[in-house]
A and B are shown apart, each in its own frame.
Chain A
Amino acid sequence: EPEVTQTPSHQVTQMGQEVILRCVPISNHLYFYWYRQILGQKVEFLVSFYNNEISEKSEIFDDQFSVERPDGSNFTLKIRSTKLEDSAMYFCASSVGGQGQETQYFGPGTRLLVL
């Protein structure tokens, strides 16, 4: 069964450093998403992406964050200058479509720890 994959599974970084989290969405999916879950809190929407541009972003997704689809398979989330409060599980998701009753399928997540 096709699945969303994410690398790395864990990332430890120093505050102020840049990190890039990588995702390979399901191959026939056209809509891609990033969510995060801070320990003990809800899963929160960050951004959705379609046709090489951002469809929607939350207030969490400020100028420190960016997304890119650098090739036909990868979807990346970059945090330019990490802060302690960026420590969280980051989940990538994808869906076939984006405006109907679409099910989003999630990857296993990347645990980011900012020291």
Chain B
Amino acid sequence: DQQVKQNSPSLSVQEGRISILNCDYTNSMFDYFLWYKKYPAEGPTFLISISSIKDKNEDGRFTVFLNKSAKHLSLHIVPSQPGDSAVYFCAASVVGNAGNMLTFGGGTRLMVKP
């Protein structure tokens, strides 16, 4: 069941440039989206989220864009830093769902080269 998909398993960018990570979803009931970063042997760390009533949310170097008609969201990191090298997961949930279950994408491994 591929309700949330991250089609690029890996991405390599140069330090200082923009990193763009993409995520697609199929379930139109999803209305809250989150990005998590994960280092090896650690748990997912929350980065940024967006509600379906918005199309953009920004927090420092991180911006998430949501295109509801295309069922697509992206995470922009600018400028990218070597410490950003990690696996990035997008996740989605349905607000009001009693269980608040998150559905995750498969992740994109970002490598930022110095």
Chain A residues at the B interface, C-beta cutoff of 8 Å: 4, 6, 31, 33, 35, 41-45, 48, 55-58, 91, 93, 95, 98-109
User: What distance in Å separates the Cβ of B46 from its nearest Cβ neighbour in chain A?
Assistant: 5
Tell me, rounded to whole Å, the shortest Cβ–Cβ distance linking B11 to chain A.
18
Q: How far is the CA of A82 from the CA of B106 in the complex (A)?
A: 25
Is B42 close to A, CB under 8 A? yes
The tally of residues in B whose CB lies under 8 Å from a CB in A reads 26
Asked if B104 and A99 sit within 8 Å, CB to CB, the answer is: no
Does B60 make an interface contact (CB < 8 A)? no
> B17-30 interface mask toward A, CB cutoff 8 Å, 1 = contact, 0 = none?
00000000000000
Secondary structure of the B side of the interface?
loop
Number of A-B contacts (CB under 8 A): 72
Do the beta carbons of A58 and B105 come within 8 Å of each other?
A: no
Bound form: Cα–Cα A48–B98 in Å:
9
- Tell me the chain B residues, 68-114 only, with Cβ under 8 Å from chain A: 89, 91, 95-107
With both beta carbons as reference points, the residue of chain B lying nearest to A44 in the complex is identified as B104
Contact B51 A101 (CB under 8 A): yes
B30 CB to nearest chain A CB (Å): 12
Distance in Å: Cβ of B85 to nearest Cβ of chain A: 19
- Say yes or no: B49 contacts A101, CB within 8 Å: yes
Q: In the docked arrangement, what's the CA distance between A31 and B41, Å?
A: 24
Known: A48-B99, A98-B99. 6 other contacts (CB 8 A): A45-B101, A56-B98, A58-B101, A100-B96, A101-B32, A109-B42
Q: Which residue of B lies closest to A55 (CB)?
A: B99
Can you identify 21 A-B contacts, CB atoms within 8 angstroms? A33-B100, A42-B106, A42-B107, A43-B89, A43-B102, A44-B104, A48-B99, A48-B100, A48-B101, A56-B97, A57-B99, A91-B44, A93-B43, A98-B100, A101-B32, A101-B51, A101-B95, A106-B43, A106-B44, A106-B45, A108-B42
> Distance (Å) between the CB of B64 and the closest chain A CB?
13
